[in-house]
Homo-oligomer: A and B are copies of this chain.
Amino acid sequence: MIVNFAERAHNHNWRLDPIIRSLLDTDFYKLLMLQFIWKHFRDVEVTFTLANRTKNFSLAERIGAEELRMQLDHVRGLRFHKSELIWLAGNTFYGKRGIFEPEFLEWLENDFLLPDYTLTIDNDDLCLSFRGLWTQTTLWEIYALSILSELKTRTALREMSEFSLDILYARAKAKLWEKIERLRGVPGLKLADFGTRRRHSFLWQEYVVKAMRDTLGMSFAGTSNTFLAYKHDLEAIGTNAHELPMAMAALAENDAELKTAQYRVLDLWRQTYQGELLVMLPDTFGTTQFLENAPDWVTDWTGQRVDSKDPFVAGDEYIAWLKSRGRNPEKKLVIASDGLDVETILGLHAYFSGEIQRGLQPGDFQNASDFLDPNKWLPKKRIRFSAGWGTLLTNDFRGCDPNDRVGLDPISLVCKLTEANGRSAVKLSDNYSKSMGEPEEVARYRRVFGTAGQINVPAVV
Residues of chain A whose beta carbon lies under 8 Å from any beta carbon of chain B: 1-2, 4, 6-7, 10, 161, 163, 166-167, 169-174, 177, 181, 210-211, 214-215, 402
Of B4, B161, B177, B402, which one neighbours A171 at CB under 8 angstroms?
B177
A214 to B402, CA, bound (A): 13
User: What are the 9 A-B residue pairs with the smallest beta carbon separation, nearest first?
Assistant: A170-B173, A170-B170, A174-B174, A171-B174, A167-B177, A4-B4, A170-B174, A163-B214, A2-B6
Q: How far is the CA of A210 from the CA of B161 in the complex (A)?
A: 13
Partner of A163 from the list B7, B10, B166, B215 (CB cut-off 8 Å) is: B215
* 6 pairs of residues in contact across A and B, judged by CB atoms under 8 Å: A2-B10, A170-B170, A170-B173, A171-B177, A177-B402, A181-B402
- Tell me the dominant secondary structure on chain A's binding face: helix
A171-B174, A173-B170 in contact; A163/B211 too (CB < 8 A)?
A: yes
Chain B nearest CB from A209 CB (Å) reads 12
A173 neighbours in B (Cβ, 8 Å): 166-167, 170-171
Given the complex of chains A and B, what is the CA–CA distance between A6 and B236 in angstroms? 38
Which residues of B are found within 8 Å of A161, using beta-carbon distances?
214
Q: Which partner residue on chain B sits nearest A210 by CB separation?
A: B163
How many copies of this chain are found per oligomer? 2
Q: How many Å lie between the Cα of A163 and that of B206 in the bound state?
A: 13
Q: Complex: how many Å from CA A233 to CA B211? A: 39
Q: In the complex the two chains form, what is the Cα distance from A169 to B402 in whole Å?
A: 17
**A181 CA to B163 CA in the complex, in Å?**
13
Residue in B7, B170, B210, B402 whose beta carbon sits within 8 Å of that of A2 in the complex = B7
Give the residues in chain B near A171, CB-CB below 8 Å. Answer: 170, 173-174, 177
CA distance A4 to B169 in the complex (A): 27
Chain B residue contacts of A181, Cβ below 8 A: 402
Beyond A1-B7, A4-B4, 12 additional contacts (C-beta under 8 Å) are: A2-B6, A2-B10, A161-B214, A167-B173, A170-B170, A170-B171, A170-B172, A170-B173, A170-B174, A170-B177, A171-B177, A181-B402
A171 to B166, CA, bound (A): 12
Most buried by B among A4, A161, A167: A167
- Complex Cα distance, B166 from A173, in Å, reads 8
Report Cα–Cα, A208/B280, bound state, in Å.
53
* Least CB distance, A11 to chain B, in whole angstroms: 10
List, in ascending order, chain B residues with CB within 8 A of A211's CB: 163
Q: Taking each of A1, A166, A170, which has the highest tally of chain B beta carbons within 10 Å of its own beta carbon? A: A170
- When C-beta atoms are compared, the residue in chain B nearest to A167 turns out to be B177
Q: Which residues of B contact A1 (CB under 8 A)?
A: 7
Separation of A6 and B6 alpha carbons in the complex (Å)? 13
Give the distance in Å from the alpha carbon of A402 to the alpha carbon of B182 in the complex. 12
Q: Which residues of B contact A4 (CB under 8 A)?
A: 4, 7
Measured between beta carbons, the chain B residues less than 8 angstroms from A215 are 163
Chain B residue with minimal CB distance to A181?
B402
B163 touches A174 (CB 8 A): no
A10 to B210 alpha-carbon distance, docked (Å):
28
A181 to B164, CA, bound (A): 12
Q: Please give me the residue from chain B that is nearest to A215 by CB atom.
A: B163
A332 to B4, CA, bound (A): 53
In the complex, what's the smallest C-beta–C-beta distance from A407 to chain B, in angstroms?
18
Shortest distance between the CB of A176 and any CB in chain B (Å): 8
User: Within the assembled complex, what's the spacing in Å between the Cα atoms of A402 and B174?
Assistant: 10
Q: What CA separation (Å) do A163 and B173 show in the bound complex? A: 10
Closest to A166 in B: B173
Given the complex, which residues of B lie within 8 Å of A6, measured CB to CB? 2
Closest chain B residue, CB of each to CB of A169: B170
The smallest C-beta distance from A7 to any residue of chain B, in angstroms, reads 7
A7: chain B residues at CB < 8 Å are: 1-2, 4
Considering the complex, give the chain B residue whose CB is closest to the CB of A172: B170
Point out the residues of chain B lying under 8 angstroms from A174, CB to CB: 167, 170-171, 174
Q: In the complex, A173→B163 CA distance in Å? A: 10
Which of A173, A174, A181 is the most central at the interface, judged by chain B CB atoms within 10 Å of its CB? A174
Question: Within 8 Å CB of A170, what residues of B?
Answer: 169-174, 177
What's the Cα separation between A181 and B400 when bound, in Å? 13
Give the distance in Å from the alpha carbon of A174 to the alpha carbon of B210 in the complex. Answer: 21
Across the interface, which residues of B come within 8 angstroms of A210, CB to CB? Answer: 163
Whole-angstrom distance between the Cβ of A310 and the nearest chain B Cβ: 33
